Structure 1
Amino acid sequence: MTAPVFHITVHGTPGPQGSKRHVGGGRMIESSAKVKPWREAVKSVALDALAYDEAWMPLSEAVRVDIVFTLARPKSHYGTGKSAGRVKPSAPEYPTGKPDLDKTVRSTLDALTDAGVWRDDSFVNAVSATKAFPLTGSDALAHPGAVIRVWRLNTPKESESCPS
């Protein structure tokens, strides 16, 4: 498999985007207070990564995006007393609560668009997204955040001027 064309690790609490609530006067605001800081964190890390590639042009071709979101375990997953800080054997292996995976992907893709990773997130042709608890699998971080990789889907064509 080829290497990703873009790869970043973002630290912070992943925030979902999509649910809105009415606040009066025809105004709607995001239901999650976490979406704005998350989008800013993703955008900031992406901009920093792109700053090292002077030739970077926003992608305008089909891409695949892989994201592993690491979410904090609830306090109820940990023991107390002598077992404080240890995950209970009965604690679930996988996150099943909020945030919704699809809404968290949406906020992340929009932040990557804002950063200039691609011209528009309509170029995202395939997405693989996973929620994990800290250090529980491949790419799961030690604390909340995300590992994001982007691959080009098109195979570069040989130049017409190359001899056969």
Structure 2
Amino acid sequence: MTKPAFLLTVHGTPGPQGSKTRNAAGALYESSAKVKPWREAVKSAALDVLAYDTAWLPLNEAVRLDLTFTLLRPKSHFGTGRNAGQLKPSAPKFPTGKPDTDKLIRSTQDALKDAGVLRDDSVVTAVSAAKVFPLTGSDSLSHPGAVIRVWRLNASSKETEQ
């Protein structure tokens, strides 16, 4: 089994990137207030990991990203009164509302580039992404955040045997 070139767990609320809004003066700005803190959380966590690898160079080859975003359940998924804190039977198993998965991918890729994990987000040739609720399966966290794996697609056979 091969190992990812880079493995990272990020804690914080995933923020989508992509939608822009114009203010009265005509300037564009991100419509999500969560994107900047999320990108900073990803960048900071990546820089912490890279601090232990002094030989790391930004990946400049084809890579695949595996991303699992853990999002908080809305309060409406839980009961009230004596059932407070208990998940309603009607609560959905998967998060189907906002934020959009593609916008979460975009903000995360940009943060990985800013941290020096990737030379550019254009080297990402394949992506597997999921949105999950806390503690609902593989790679889901107990709180908001993400598990990020970066795989080299052109790895030599010696690298994959390690």
Which range is displaced more, 20-29 or 67-76?
20-29
AA aligned to 2:23 is V
Residue equivalent to 2:119? 119
Question: Which whole-Å deviations, capped at 9, do the CAs of 1:126-149 have from their partners, x for residues lacking one?
Answer: 000000000111100001000000
For residues 122 and 145 of structure 2, the distance between their equivalents in structure 1, rounded to whole angstroms, comes to 24
Residue equivalent to 1:17? 17
AA aligned to 2:106 is R
For residues 155 and 41 of structure 1, the distance between their equivalents in structure 2, rounded to whole angstroms, comes to 28
Residue equivalent to 2:110? 110
Measured after TM superposition, the shift of residue 52 of structure 1 is 0.5
Q: Is residue 30 of structure 2 the alignment partner of residue 7 of structure 1?
A: no
Residue equivalent to 2:49? 49
AA aligned to 1:142 is S
For residues 79 and 144 of structure 1, the distance between their equivalents in structure 2, rounded to whole angstroms, comes to 21
Which protein has the larger Cα radius of gyration, Structure 1 or Structure 2? 1
For residues 156 and 145 of structure 1, the distance between their equivalents in structure 2, rounded to whole angstroms, comes to 32
SS in 1 for 2:48: helix
AA aligned to 2:96 is T
Measured after TM superposition, the shift of residue 5 of structure 1 is 0.8
> How is 1:4-153 mapped onto 2 (pairs within 5 angstroms)?
4-153=4-153
Question: Which whole-Å deviations, capped at 9, do the CAs of 1:5-47 have from their partners, x for residues lacking one?
Answer: 1001001100000000010222011000000000000000000
Structure 2 unpaired stretches of 5+: none
SS in 1 for 2:8: strand
For residues 67 and 89 of structure 1, the distance between their equivalents in structure 2, rounded to whole angstroms, comes to 28
For residues 7 and 17 of structure 2, the distance between their equivalents in structure 1, rounded to whole angstroms, comes to 22
For residues 61 and 157 of structure 1, the distance between their equivalents in structure 2, rounded to whole angstroms, comes to 16
AA aligned to 1:98 is K
Structure 1 unpaired stretches of 5+: 159-164
CA RMSD in angstroms comes to: 1.0
SS in 2 for 1:151: strand
Percent of counterpart pairs with the same letter? 72
SS in 2 for 1:43: helix
Measured after TM superposition, the shift of residue 157 of structure 1 is 6.7
Residue equivalent to 1:161? none
Measured after TM superposition, the shift of residue 155 of structure 1 is 3.0
